[in-house]
Amino acid sequence: MKAEIITIGDELLIGQVINTNQAYIAEKLNAVGVLVERMTTIGDNRRDILEAFTAAWSRCDVVCVTGGLGPTHDDITKKMVCEFFQCDLVQNESVMMNVEALMAQRNIAWNKSTEEQTLVPRKCKVLQNRVGTAPGMLFVESPGGTKKYFVVMPGVPFEMKSIVDEELIPYLRKENFGTIVRHRTLKTTGISESALAAEIGSIEEIIGTDGSITLAFLPNPMGTKLRITVREKDADVADAKLKSAEDKIKAKAQKYIYSIDEMDLEDVVGAMLTEQKLTIAVAESCTGGMIANRITNVSGSSAYFNRAFVTYSDNSKTELLSVPKELIRAHGAVSREVAEAMAVGARANAGVEIALSTTGIAGPTGGTAEKPVGLVWIGYADANGAMALKFNFGEHRLRFKERASQAALELLRRKLLKLHLRK
C-alpha cells in the first residue's frame, strides 16, 4: 500500500509553524504496512488543494490530509473535500454530542462557528476527535476496482495524534494489507554515531542480506537512535527477526542503550529511583533548571524528586548550597571542586540520598582559553561521597543545555546500574 501525506496551511509554507504532522503520520502508517512515498505541503488555496487531492488520489492507495478544519474563514479544507467527493455537508449526531461535551467541559458558550464544526461530508465515516471539536473524516472508495482510503484530520498536532492513534490506525490495522511491518528503536546516549557504528561492527551480521531487515542510525543532540525495521508476510517470522537483530545489537552496545522504543532517559531513571526507593535533588547553574524540568515531566516523580536549586550566581551557590567562597575563589565556579561541592550541598540541604549538579559556560560569551565556551562539570553525590565529570558541548547555548541535562541523567543512570564511568 502506497500513501501520500498532504499538509495544508499558509503558516507551514512561511515557516511560522514547524511541520511535525508528516513525520508522525508516516511513522504510524509504516507500522501497519502502509509505505509513505510522497509528502506535499500547500497553502489555504482552493486551486492548490484540489490539484493536490486529485494527484494524490490518482497515484496512492492512502491519502492523509491535515489542516484547514478550524471554524475561521481561512479554514476551507472541509468545503474542498465536499467538492472533491461531490457531496454536501450534514450534521452528525455523534460529533454534535462530542462537541457539546467538550464545550461544557471547557465552559465555553455555544456559537455559530462551533455548530459548523458538527457538519461533516455526507459520504464520510467519522473519526471521532476526543480532544477537539473538528472530527476526522474517512472516505473509502474503490475507483477502478481498487480499494482506497482518503483521510482528513485537523492540523493541530495533539488533535491529529489522538485521531491517528485511537481511530485511524486501529481501522487500518483491521484492513490487513498483507505486509507485516515491525519497528524497534534502541535509544543510546554517551557515545557518538561513528563510535557506536564501530562498536556494533558488521551491519550484515545483524540484518542479513535478504533485504527484509533495515537498520538506521538516527543521531540527535541527546544521542543516537538505532531503528530496526522488519518487513515480512508472516507476523511470527517478523517478530523472530526483530528479536534476533535486537539481541545482536545489545550484545555489542548494551551499556549505551538506555531505552527501547518510547521511554526517554528521565522515564528510565525515574523508574530506577522508584524501584530502589531513592530520593534525589538537583543543583543547577548553567542548565538553569532543565534537569529538574525533565525529571518532573514524568508522572509520579513526586515519589523520588525532592527539590531543585537553581544557583546561577556565585553568591547563590554559597547561600543555598553552602559552597565555600574560598573554594570558588581558588578554583572558579566552573570546576570539578565546585561541582562536587554543589552536589554535596544539595544532598545535605534537601535530605535526600542522591544529588546531581551542573556548572559550566553555556556561551556564546564568557569563555576563556582555560575554560572555553561549552565546558561543563557535572557532579554527583551520594552516601559514598562525591565526584564530577568534565564535558564540552560546544557553543550553541540551547543545545549545550540539552546535552548537559542528558549527560547528567546518563551519569545518574550509570551510577544506579553500577556501570563504569569514564574519567
pLDDT for the residue 310: 98
245 inside domain: yes
Sequence-ordered list of residues with C-beta below 8 angstroms from that of 336, at least 6 positions apart, any chain: 377, 379, 388, 390
**Please, what sign has the CA dihedral across residues 156, 158, 159, 164?**
positive
Residue 176 has pLDDT above 80, yes or no: no
End-to-end, the C-alpha distance of the chain in Å comes to: 51
- Which of these three, 205, 238, 260, is where a domain ends? 260
> Are 373 and 301 in a shared domain?
yes
- Domain harbouring 230, CATH code: 3.30.70.2860
Residue 302 has pLDDT above 80, yes or no: yes
Closest CA to 356 of 297, 298, 418, 416: 416
> Are 169 and 202 in a shared domain?
no
Residue 78 has pLDDT above 70, yes or no: yes
> Are 247 and 269 in a shared domain?
no
Residue 388 near residue 331, CB atoms below 8 Å: no
Residue 181 near residue 230, CB atoms below 8 Å: yes
422 inside domain: no
Between 35 and 344, residue with greater pLDDT: 344
The pLDDT confidence band at residue 137, using thresholds 50, 70 and 90, is very high
Largest CA distance in the chain: 83
- Mean pLDDT value across residues 204-210: 94
Q: Which residue bears the cell 461533516?
A: 120
The pLDDT confidence band at residue 255, using thresholds 50, 70 and 90, is very high
**Please, what sign has the CA dihedral across residues 71, 73, 76, 82?**
positive
Between 131 and 421, residue with greater pLDDT: 131
pLDDT for the residue 31: 81
Tell me how many domains the chain contains.
Answer: 3
Please tell me the pTM assigned to this model.
0.74
Closest CA to 136 of 343, 294, 43, 149: 149
- Mean pLDDT value across residues 385-407: 95
> Could you tell me what percent of the chain has a pLDDT over 90?
84
How far is it, in rounded angstroms, from Cα 62 to Cα 163?
Answer: 16
pLDDT in tens, 1-21: 899 999 999 999 999 999 999
Q: Which residue bears the cell 567562597?
A: 325
> Are 240 and 315 in a shared domain?
no
The answer to which of 207-211, 277-281, 331-335, 411-415 has the lowest mean pLDDT is: 207-211
> Are 255 and 289 in a shared domain?
no
- Domain harbouring 292, CATH code: 3.90.950.20
Between 203 and 115, residue with greater pLDDT: 203
The pLDDT confidence band at residue 422, using thresholds 50, 70 and 90, is low
313 inside domain: yes
> Are 100 and 13 in a shared domain?
yes
pLDDT for the residue 95: 92
Between 391 and 395, residue with greater pLDDT: 391
Chain-centre distance for alpha carbon 410:
18
pLDDT for the residue 64: 98
368 inside domain: yes
> Could you tell me what percent of the chain has a pLDDT over 70?
99
Count CA within 13 A, CB hemisphere, residue 409. Answer: 29
pLDDT in tens, 49-58: 999 999 999 9
Q: Return the amino acid letter for 98.
A: N
111 inside domain: yes
Quick one: three-class SS letters along 76-105? CHHHHHHHHHCCCEEECHHHHHHHHHHHHH
> Are 319 and 214 in a shared domain?
no
The pLDDT confidence band at residue 143, using thresholds 50, 70 and 90, is confident
Strand pairing of 62-66 and 2-8? parallel
Peptide bond into 221 cis (omega under 30): no
> Are 16 and 132 in a shared domain?
yes
Sequence-ordered list of residues with C-beta below 8 angstroms from that of 227, at least 6 positions apart, any chain: 183, 184, 185, 186, 215, 216, 218
423 inside domain: no
How far is it, in rounded angstroms, from Cα 346 to Cα 306?
Answer: 10
Between 261 and 162, residue with greater pLDDT: 162
Count CA within 13 A, CB hemisphere, residue 358. Answer: 34
- Mean pLDDT value across residues 63-73: 90
Full domain range(s) for residue 225: 180-260
pLDDT for the residue 154: 96
The pLDDT confidence band at residue 113, using thresholds 50, 70 and 90, is confident
Burial of 74 (0-12, 13-18, 19+ CB in 10 A): exposed
Residue 394 has pLDDT above 80, yes or no: yes
